[in-house]
Amino acid sequence: MKNGKLQVAVIGCGGIANQKHFPTLKSQADKCEIVAFCDIIHERAEKGAKEYGTADAKVCEDYREVMNDTEIDVVHVCTPNVAHCPITVAAFEAGKHVMCEKPMAATTEDAQKMMEAWKKSGKKFTIGYQNRFRNDTQMLHEACTAGDLGEIYFAKAHAIRRRAVPTWGVFPDKAKQGGGPLIDIGTHALDITLWMMDNYEVESVTGSVYEKLGHLEEATKGNMFGAWDPKTFEVEDSAFGFVKMKNGATIFLEAAWAINMKESREAATTLCGTKAGAEIIGGMSKAEGEYDLIINKTSHGRLTEETLSAGGTIAFFEGGSDKPEEVECKQWLEAILNDKEPLVKPEQAFVVTKILDNIYKSAAEGKEIKF
């Protein structure tokens, strides 16, 4: 630490760094300052340093320069998925705390290496699942923790976009990302659902992965982010998984960037319990500040529904902004400063990656994968 503030380095200065990490770290200027910017495209690192960095911020293209700087306390890994593992492992070996963007890794093997390096380091580790910090997810988690839903034995994890294929960065590049919508947005929906159920004991996974629309010129029309190039589209356009838990509970996961389905539901979940059920219908598909959490149950012999008001507040955190990404950043930095566990625990994120990885494997091998 320097001047009473955590010294932060950001590795990968592209879209997610500019949209989320740079502004949220700046919002916590009383706790940290960004002192290093690393990207394989030098101009992106320079731009980040100029807009968000300290006057003497380091700018580099090789992440090993960041690891060799003993004054850096915290590393945020914002690179394509396949680079998460080597950078995170190097950061732990260099004695840094690490926030890695979702998902933890592209494969179970890489995630395992990250877990082993973390356990040896004694440092803090978390994964960027900011959707846990929305008002609706916070309220639903509080209800689940209180036992309001009873035993949750069936759930659906929703990550459906009718036409919203990302056309920037490396999203369609399988070698860099490891997959398409399943690993990109399916990971958020699965994380929320497992967290609500508080169940990470998996029995088996069965998956189906489709490349039906990604290569069709006609399907690109109407895409939210403009037409994608079918010739360079290398990943799935939709994927589905059936997850059986050791206690008999089941989860159905649906993920798509492009599918002929009317309703979009992203980072959303459906839970069925013995006392009540709950649905987050739109999730990220809703405008900021709009919530559609509905809890259904029986009351006085009748079927009833309770809906969250848009005026709700964050359940577990005092003060600050309602923006989920800012609340995420605040609690992460406070976990380091106060030696507490971050809300998103590495063990939980590891299970998410293992399930996603095995949905891909199940689809490729045409069989159920036992854990």
Q: What is the tens place of the pLDDT at every residue in 336-347?
A: 999 999 999 999
Four-way CATH pick for 6-123: 3.40.50.720, 3.40.50.300, 2.40.30.260, 3.90.550.10: 3.40.50.720
What six digits make up the tokens of 233? 């589209």
Q: Is the peptide bond before 103 cis (omega within 30 degrees of 0)?
A: yes
pLDDT tens per residue, range 24-34 = 999 999 999 99
Residue 320 has pLDDT above 50, yes or no: no
Q: Which residue has the higher pLDDT, 356 or 318?
A: 356
Four-way CATH pick for 132-321+353-370: 3.30.360.10, 1.20.1740.10, 3.30.300.210, 3.30.300.180: 3.30.360.10
Q: Where are the domains of the chain?
A: 6-123, 132-321+353-370
Cα–Cα dist 368/362, whole Å:
6
pLDDT at 310: 58
The average pLDDT across 86-102 equals 98
369 forms beta bridges with 205
Q: Can you give the pTM of this predicted structure?
A: 0.94
Residue 269 has pLDDT above 90, yes or no: yes
Residue 318 has pLDDT above 50, yes or no: no
Beta strand 369-370 pairing with 250-256: unpaired
Distance linking the first and last C-alpha atoms of the chain:
42
Mean pLDDT rounded to a whole number for the chain? 94
